[in-house]
Each structure stands twice: as C-alpha cells, then as structure tokens.
Structure 1
Amino acid sequence: MGVDFLAKYKANGTRFITLDNGYHLWTQTTGSGDIHLMTLHGGPGGTNEVFENFGERLAPYGVTVTRYDQLGSFFSDQPDFSDPENRKKFLNIDYYVQEVEEVRQKLGLDHFYLLGQSWGGVLAIEYALRYPEHLAGVILSSMIDNLAEYLQNVNAIRDSMFNADDLAYMHDVEARHTFDEPRYEALVSALGEHYLHHQADAQPRHLISTMGTAVYNYFQGDNEFVMVGALKDWDRRGSMKDISVPAYLTFGGHETMPLDAARRMADEIPDSTLHITPDAGHGQMLDNPDDYFKHLGEWLQGQQA
C-alpha cells in the first residue's frame, strides 16, 4: 500500500480528538474527494446526525465530509454545566469558534469549506470573519446574521398559526415559566412539524433525548419563542461585507428564518450565491434532499473551476 493511501485511510473514519483543554470530541470523516467540507450542527446543543449522509450524497461532486459533535453535545464530552466556572469558560461564542479552529488543526484541514446549519451558521459566520485564510468558502444553511429578525419572524409565524385562545395560553405559560405543560408542548411541537421540518419524511430518532439541554437553555432559553439566553443579542448586521471568501446561502422556502434577511445578506456579501430550497423548512437537507444536495454539490464543484 502506498503512502498516499495510508494517509487517506488514517484521515477517514470515526475517531475522538483530544482538545488542549482535555475534553474529547467525536469526529467522522467520509469520502475521498479533493473538496474538503466540515459541518457545524445546530442547536445549540444539537448533534451532527443531520449530516449522516452528506459524504454519500456529495460523493458524486468529489467532496470529503468531516462532521463532529461540539463540546456538550451527545457523542462528545459533556462538562458539568451546573458549575459556574464551566459555564463561564465554555458557554460563549468565542469558545466555540476557537473549538472549530482547534478541530481544523487537529484534523489537518486547510483551504476547506465550512458549512454551518442554524446555530452552526453563527459559528461559521464568526469563523469566516476571523480565520478567512483557512477557508475556501463558507456555507450558511438556514442562518441569518442576527437573532432579532429571526425572533420577529418566528413569532409572526406563531401568530399566523394559532388562534387567539392558544396564543393567550402560550403567553400565559411563558409568563409563568411552566413550559412542561402538555398543551403548551403540543403547540410548540406543531411549529416544528410545519416549519422546522416541513415534510413528513422520517427525521433522526432516538429512544432517549440527545439534546444538550444545558447548552441550549444557556444560549437560547426555553424554546424558539422564548429567547432569553446568551445568544439573544448576537448581531452581525453590517459585517457581512467583510466576508472575503465565496459564500453559499441556502434556506428553506417554508422555514423560520426570514428570507428577506437572507436576500439582504446575499446582496451584502461580495461573492455570494443564494438558493431557496422549495418545499422545505429549517431542516432543508431532510425535507428536500435531492434539491439541497444538487445545488450545494454544484456550487462546491463550481468553485474549483
């Protein structure tokens, strides 16, 4: 076996990497193409599983895909976030951006494409602004450049979905902070079924919850409507013009992110392409995979020309 084959064999597959802070992250690399893509999952506190088939679906376009679970997420180490020192050290955007950079270094990636889905898009924007020298391009999948417009949009969606009685009940629950009431949970789930996942195809399922709840609650709050966490004031409007690498923006046609903001971002980023995935919600790659992967793969391929 040649040296090149051995190097590629060792680079691919599933392995844990040890961060300089001593914690371990689950990673997996699949594919053998010359285009290198790393994915950042949503949440915060979600998992990499929406990217399970990216290596297979993007193989025809010559793409090697690396995915990993961020610190505090299901397959990776989960610090005790009840410890205020851990919350201070790890639960901030700067930590997670630096984590992306350390993962890149430990996996030996350079001149690669970075795809961020939802919360992962926050990290992808921040990484592109701080470390453009390591990127060939950035992909923002269902993420805009601020949370204020998102909150306005998702609450407008709620107002349009539910009747006055349901809305009054939801606001009352939120004022009382009794989010585990069955009727309330059912109403919140209805949003997910229509806008987070617009199609009826099966979504990743487990017998237990895989959500990093402590991470989600700290950054987000209790749910998509009640955003009182540390992420609520994140706003990169005005910075999109400073993204100096090619950017691909992809959004579902029926999702929670405001498409007007997506179009504004596409106008502001110097080298950008915007695609709206039809018949898809926030989880575009699950709702309409044929369209999602075709356009993403063609964009990645086109960057090599």
Structure 2
Amino acid sequence: MPLSFLRSTLFTALVVTAVACNKAPSGNEALTYNQSPETGVRTGGVRMIPVKTPSGTFNVWTKRVGNNPRIKVLLLHGGPGGNHVLFEPFESYFPAEDIEFYYYDQLGSLNSDHPSDSTLWTTPRFVEEVEQVRRALGLNKDNFYLLGHSWGGILATEYALKYQQNLKGLIISNMMSSCPEYGKYAEEVLGKQMNPKVLAEIKAIEARKDFQNPRYMELLTPNFYEQHVCRLKPWPNAFDRAFPAMNSTVYTLMQGPSEFGISGRLANWDRRADLKNINVPTLTIGGMHDTMDPKHMAWMATQFPHGTSLICPDGSHCSMWDDQPHYFPGLVKFIKAVDAGEEKVAL
C-alpha cells in the first residue's frame, strides 16, 4: 500500500474524529433548549400567573422562550406601564446562546389584567409582584437572572435590595440609581443639546400642562426621542406596537407627564447609597446617547461589590436596538461568566 495513501487515510480519520469530538454532546449532556417542559395543552410557553395584591388577585402574562435549567432570565420592561414588546430582539440572540428567558407584562400592562385601583401603582407593590412571578416560574438562586430596563431597572434594584438571596445575577439596563440625578442630567445636559427655540417651546407647553397638544410630540420626536430613545431610522415596527399600548395612567402617576426628569411617585427615588448592599454579580448597561447619564451608570458598577459596566458607544436608551453589536455580546458574556462561577466579570 503506498505511503501517500496511508497518510491520506490517517488524515481523514483524524478529521472525522475531530469533527465528532466537536459536535454538541448527545443524550443527558445535551442542552435541550427547544424541548418544551409543558405538559397537557401546550401554550407556546405562555402562562397567566395569579398575583395577590391588597386590592385582590389579578393575572399577569408571561411567556417562556427556551429551556435551560441553569440560566433563566426574567425581563422587566420599562414605563411604568410599558410592555414586553421592546424586548423582542432578545429572540435573535439568547436562543443561540442557550439562554432561557421570560417575557413578562407587569400588572396594568398589555396582556396582563388592567385594574383601575390607582393605589396599586407603587414600587413596593410591584416588587412583591415580581417575587410572586419568580416563585410561580420556579426561578431560584442557582439559575435566576433579573434584567430590568429603564423603569424595570428601578424595579430590579428594589427587588435585589429585598430579595437578592433568590438571585444568581442582576442586570440594570439603561437606568440611573437616582431619579433626582436623572432630572438634573435631563435639564443640564440633554436640554442644552437642543435648539434653544425648540427647548423653549417644549418648556412652554409643559408649563401650561398642555401635554396632549400634538405639537408636544412633534417637537419631542425629532429632538429628543430620535436622539436619545432610539437612534434607528426609521424606528422598528416594535416601537409602533409598544408605544400605543402603553398604560398612560400608570406611566403618568409614577413617571409624570414630562420627558425631562421624573415628577410622579418616583420623583424622589434614590438608591445611590444602597448599591453597596447588593452582593450578587451585577451588570449595568448604558448608552453614550442615552436619556440617562452614561457616566452615572458606569459609576454605579463601581458601587456594587461585584459590579461590571457596559457602556454602548453607539447606543441610546434602547441600546438593545440601536447598538446590538455591543449590547448583546457584553450581556451574553456576563451571563455566561456568572454561570461559570465568576463573581466580578471583566468585559
């Protein structure tokens, strides 16, 4: 048998062996990401979860995507009164990384019940709602990652301060740790970036409390939203579905009607001094063009005992849309590192 043939045969065998070794493990070792854990009638991962409140029991909507017993991410949307729709890009990234995640419309939002009792719209009540959702979904300290965006970042921070024993990791996306500081940033930095005539007209409308005036949105859309909320042009279809579905009653009560700072029930929320008490690995995400101060969000990471910062250079408030090349690789790396046992992750 020619030597060249032997060499060729040996090379082929080595290649086949290498390919076989690099294939995903089979049997019990494989991540059955697409295998549904549902029994009975399958709902595509949707569950309506009963939540007890001082005003009675109501149902909130959740939807599971994927199946990984080690990594489960619960998404807290913004608003307050927003919805899960702006999280849709996560479907393009998390499944490829075997990361199980949950859409969740908070009480009063989109697919969940809409009670009319205004006393329900407080941060402590929302914290207890998240805890009830966690228990219903079976999330625990060995697999539970909580990601809050914007108002969801406030809610995630408050949840961690009370229930961090249930968390594996925490992600605060595009939210500062102080509403008064956010108000200062909006006035002293974002406002001054606007054309002075535009800003004066916006302020005049706000002074008259004429927030339903169409001119208000005509001014805000190109001069504020398209600069600091999402910089993609045109805006993706998800925004056309998410914004009209916002619960404006909840939003106005808690956030206030103005986009320059917070004047509702959250106006005095400030947890700067308490960040040091959150001991789980924590990632703060911000955008350089955010409505929130990127320097403050980077500083927050230095206050957590196990903090990591990710500032998206091309991102705005919705960095998961307009700076996906930085947002998702950093987020995935953080989650995978914490899953591997790292407490303080370097990105």
User: Is the TM-score greater than 0.5?
Assistant: yes
Tell me if the contact between 1:55 and 1:63 (Cα under 8 Å) persists in the aligned partners.
Answer: no
Q: What SS does the aligned partner of 2:284 have?
A: strand
Which amino acid is the alignment partner of residue 72 of structure 2? H
Residues 143-189 of structure 1 deviation map (CA, whole Å, 9 limit, x = unaligned): 11110111111223443333333222222211211122232221122
8 Å Cα contact 2:126-2:155 kept in structure 1: yes
2: distance between equivalents of 1:121 and 1:53? 18
Q: What's the counterpart of residue 15 of structure 1? A: 47
Alignment of 1:295 onto 2:318: no
Q: 2:282 aligns with which of 236, 244, 247?
A: 247
Q: For 1:73-88, what aligned pairs fall within 5 Å after superposition?
A: 73-80=109-116, 86-88=117-119
List gaps (5 residues or longer) in structure 2. 1-27, 341-347
Q: Tell me, yes or no, if the aligned pair for 1:55 and 1:64 is still in contact at 8 Å.
A: no
Matching residue's letter, 2:331: L
Is the counterpart of residue 46 in structure 1 residue 82 in structure 2?
yes
Q: Deviations over 1:199-255 (max 9, x none)?
A: 225141239820110000000111312632100100001001001100011111211
SS at match of 1:216: helix
**Is 2:148 the partner of 1:116?**
yes
* 8 A contact 2:78–2:150 mirrored in 1: yes
Q: Does 1:66 align with 2:102?
A: yes
SS in 2 for 1:132: helix
Name which of structure 1's ranges 209-218 and 10-19 shifts more when overlaid on structure 2. Answer: 10-19
1:101 aligns with 2:131: yes
Q: Percent identical across equivalent pairs?
A: 35
2:220 corresponds, among 185, 188, 191, to 188
Matched position secondary structure for 1:270: coil
Distance 2:196 2:288 in 1: 26
More contact order relative to length (CA 8 Å, sep ≥ 6): 1
8 Å Cα contact 2:289-2:315 kept in structure 1: yes
Contact 1:16 1:24 in 2 (8 A): yes
Residues 149-164 of structure 1 aligned to structure 2 (within 5 Å): 149-164=181-196
Deviation at 1:261, TM superposition (A): 1.1
Q: 261-270 vs 238-247, which deviates more?
A: 261-270
Query: Distance between the aligned counterparts of 1:8 and 1:113, measured in 2?
Result: 19
Q: 2:296 aligns to what?
A: 261
Larger radius of gyration: 2
Q: Provide the rounded CA distance (Å) in 2 between the counterparts of 1:124 and 1:97.
A: 8
**Matches of 1:22 and 1:164, distance apart in 2:** 49
Instruction: Quote the Cα distance in structure 2 between the aligned partners of 1:272 and 1:203.
Output: 34
Give 1:83's aligned residue: none
Q: TM-score, normalised by structure 1?
A: 0.91
Aligned alpha-carbon RMSD (Å): 2.2
Distance in 2, matches of 1:157 and 1:44, equals 24
Equivalent pair of 2:169/2:282 in contact (CA under 8 Å) = yes
Under a length normalisation based on structure 2, what TM-score does the superposition of the two structures give? 0.80
Whether contact under 8 Å (2:180, 2:261) holds in the other structure is no
1:61 Cα offset (Å): 2.4
Partner amino acid for 2:37? Answer: K
Partner in structure 1 of residue 178 of structure 2? 146
What's the secondary structure of 2:49's corresponding residue? strand
> How far apart, CA to CA, are the structure 1 residues paired with 2:260 and 2:165?
37
Amino acid at match of 1:71: L
**Structure 1 residue matching 2:203: 3-state secondary structure:** helix
In the comparison of the two structures, how many residue pairs are matched? 297
> Residues 208-219 of structure 1 correspond to what in structure 2 (within 5 A)?
209-219=244-254
1:14–1:193 Cα change, 3 Å: same
Post-superposition Cα deviations, 1:11-42, rounded to whole Å, max 9, x if no partner, equal 96112112233211111001122311111000
Counterpart amino acid of 2:162?
A: R
Structure 1 residues without counterparts, runs of 5 or longer: 81-85
Letter paired with 1:273: T
